[in-house]
Structure 1
Amino acid sequence: MSDSQANDILVSFRGVQKSYDGEALIVKDLNLDIRKGEFLTLLGPSGSGKTTSLMMLAGFETPTAGEILLDGKAINNVPPHKRNIGMVFQNYALFPHMTVAENMAFPLSVRGMNKTDIHERVKRSLAMVQLDKFRHRYPGQLSGGQQQRVALARALVFEPQLVLMDEPLGALDKQLREHMQMEIKHIHERLGVTVVYVTHDQGEALTMSDRVAVFHQGEIQQIAPPRDLYEAPSNTFVAHFIGENNRLPGTLVSRDGERCSVKLARGENVQALAVKVGASGEPVSLSIRPERVRLNAASENCANRFSGRVAEFIYLGDHVRIRMEVCGNPNFFVKQPIAELDPALGVGDVVPLGWHVEHVRALDPLLAE
């Protein structure tokens, strides 16, 4: 890594492990560089180690092994309040006996700032989340979304270099949640602060982040920009965890550079991208996104062409999910925009379908969960 790249790194996890009982590792061997100004999301199912990693960075948990660097300095032994890190949690953690303005002023007064500067800074931060006129209200007089915006403004008010957010939108309803996702994303873009965000919601991670680190069983499975993660998952766990995914188990027949040939259980042959495969004769799992499957005439120039029986239509407003039986999989989904749906297509119809080689990935077989 060049010096300029090294200067670009704000946080480094180096060989970090965490165990609570001295045996089971919740975080196995975390090596992760977080760049200045980036919005990085730690995504994974519960128990995957993402929150524990965030808590070690915040200083509420201590690594069992390895070290965490902030701006090039080890912070393993620095207490949380001396790390210059803003935090936003799901439960807001506002002081109920203080007004909005007093809540906002608290992190500034503990840092010894004078009254005039505090007043200015609080005003500016509340304006940023459009809550200036609520400054004299108490948290109990605000809606959930307003409280969360105060918590966000309070985490930003002392201009930290790093803001950590742990499922901050988990308690909000869907519409408000989506509104807040954009709000946080825009504030991040305006301020250029580094954000590390934890969620188990893959849609949220894809919408908001510059990069996403997918955690599973205490390890990062893949770290990449949202689009790469969705379009080019590096293993079956990532393919399955992010977005919808059709899986077809098979056996590797042969490999030729980036491409391979896979035989399915019933004997069909599929040409696929060889992403994570072993030797010929070993099991693989094929991954195909539902929106990449072509039906009827649209499938004519696909290298992989089969037939499928329509089992069910699931309408979702702007698009429809069609559950089909394909190559022995009774739950193979095809996703089509309503505008492209053939109105004559009905349940029980058997139709040709296909997909291009570049849209099917041969990955590791999915082991029993």
Structure 2
Amino acid sequence: MVDAPTGEVLVSFRGIQKSYDGETLIVRDLNLDIRQGEFLTLLGPSGSGKTTSLMMLAGFETPTAGDILLNGRSIKHVPPHKRDIGMVFQNYALFPHMTVRENLAFPLSVRGQGKAEIAERVSRALAMVQLDAFAHRYPAQLSGGQQQRVALARALVFEPQLVLMDEPLGALDKQLREHMQMEIRHLHRHLGVTVVYVTHDQGEALTMSDRVAVFHQGEIQQVAPPRVLYEEPQNAFVANFIGENNRINGQLLSRSGEHCVVRLPQGETVEALAVQVGQPGEPVSLSVRPERVLLNGHSAACANRFAGRVMEFIYLGDHVRMRLEVAGQNNFFVKQPIAELDPELRVGDVVPLGWQVEHVRALDPLTTE
């Protein structure tokens, strides 16, 4: 069971499995607690089971096995419209023949709210997403970002205890997407509503979430706050899927407590944190983030030191990615802020580099998946 760290549990997935053909499990064995008021993101590649898990929580899919509890009660047989859950989709799902105001009023009218109550709640929701001036427009008269705001307001207007978002920003351009990430995050903090968010965009997950659950092949690989997920991945899949990562195959030589020594293919040895390793002699993979690699004199105090040949510079405005050949690998990356870059460095130069023991993790061996 992966428990929510603090606070009252609102949603609990218990032993959830989902299969469409009776053989292949799309979701294998999902055990996850979501606490009240948190922003939890389900992150993973296509086909990893994240959207299916969200749809089972929404009531649009039925689990093959297991149970889902909302406020301690099973919702397995509760229809979607009785679950008190707001939903935001990637395609907005707005009614094209209704104005913005009418779109927002719809969830309230089907719940039998009075006219005065509806008018007040709709006005409040419009103000919340700063669309007061667009109340009488139709969806086709709005930009993509405005339509997404309407969809967001409609999901929040009846004040649900839980809001589910399925790739809600996928159709927006990069700049607008980043703006909407902040908008949604600020709304979440302001309202205190529980949000379960699905995305395959790791940057979006790290930016917005209190915790992130990383899915792969129907199972959660790790669930943790963004910083922990990035700095302390528990296996090779998480290390490679979250952020940029240097991956080096090796063989475990020895282990002593939390530390271990790994031999690389060309005979060099690396001292690393032993996170997920087997017995000496067995294969492991090493994970080192590009920004943790130190160059030239900065590497002098590092326990792990190598020589690297500069192969390529990739200019990215505020920082530069350098591709180097290190320990027989020609796709080893180092990331440096522009202000720290040595202006004399050229392609072909051989430079000393290194990293500290606490910044290299020995994990399970990489697979070809």
Q: Same fold (TM over 0.5)?
A: yes
Alpha-carbon offset, residue 27 of structure 1: 0.1
Matched, 1:118 2:115: no
Give CA deviations for 1:2-44 in whole Å, capped at 9, x if unaligned.
xx98970000000000000000000000000000000000000
Distance 2:329 2:24 in 1: 36
Whether contact under 8 Å (2:6, 2:35) holds in the other structure is: no
What amino acid sits opposite 1:285 in the alignment? Answer: S
* Corresponding residue number in structure 1 for 2:354: 354
Does the residue aligned with 1:133 lie in a helix, a strand or coil?
Answer: helix
Distance 2:7 2:269 in 1: 50
* Corresponding residue number in structure 1 for 2:155: 155
Distance 1:188 1:159 in 2: 12
Does the residue aligned with 1:175 lie in a helix, a strand or coil?
Answer: helix
Matched, 1:130 2:130: yes
Matched, 1:61 2:72: no
Per mean C-alpha deviation after superposition, the further-off stretch among 4-13 and 259-268 is: 4-13
* Corresponding residue number in structure 1 for 2:181: 181
What amino acid sits opposite 2:305 in the alignment? Answer: R
Regions of 4+ moved over 6 Å: 4-7
* Pairing 1:27-176 to 2, within 5 Å after superposition: 27-176=27-176
* Corresponding residue number in structure 2 for 1:253: 253
What amino acid sits opposite 1:331 in the alignment? Answer: N
TM-score when scaled to structure 2?
0.98
Distance 2:145 2:344 in 1: 45
Does the residue aligned with 1:342 lie in a helix, a strand or coil?
Answer: coil
Distance 2:202 2:5 in 1: 29
What amino acid sits opposite 2:284 in the alignment? Answer: V
Distance 1:222 1:277 in 2: 17
What amino acid sits opposite 1:102 in the alignment? Answer: E
* Corresponding residue number in structure 1 for 2:218: 218
Alpha-carbon offset, residue 368 of structure 1: 1.7
Distance 2:364 2:117 in 1: 57
Give CA deviations for 1:79-100 in whole Å, capped at 9, x if unaligned.
0000000000000000000000
* Pairing 1:255-294 to 2, within 5 Å after superposition: 255-294=255-294
What amino acid sits opposite 2:10 in the alignment? Answer: L
Give CA deviations for 1:306-335 in whole Å, capped at 9, x if unaligned.
000000000000000000000111100000
Distance 1:248 1:55 in 2: 37
What amino acid sits opposite 2:28 in the alignment? Answer: K
Identity %, equivalent residues: 80
Does the residue aligned with 2:261 lie in a helix, a strand or coil?
Answer: strand
What amino acid sits opposite 2:337 in the alignment? Answer: P
Alpha-carbon offset, residue 367 of structure 1: 1.3
Distance 2:327 2:215 in 1: 31
Does the residue aligned with 2:146 lie in a helix, a strand or coil?
Answer: helix
Ranges in structure 2 where 5+ consecutive residues have no aligned partner: none
Distance 1:193 1:7 in 2: 13
What amino acid sits opposite 1:168 in the alignment? Answer: P
TM-score when scaled to structure 1?
0.98
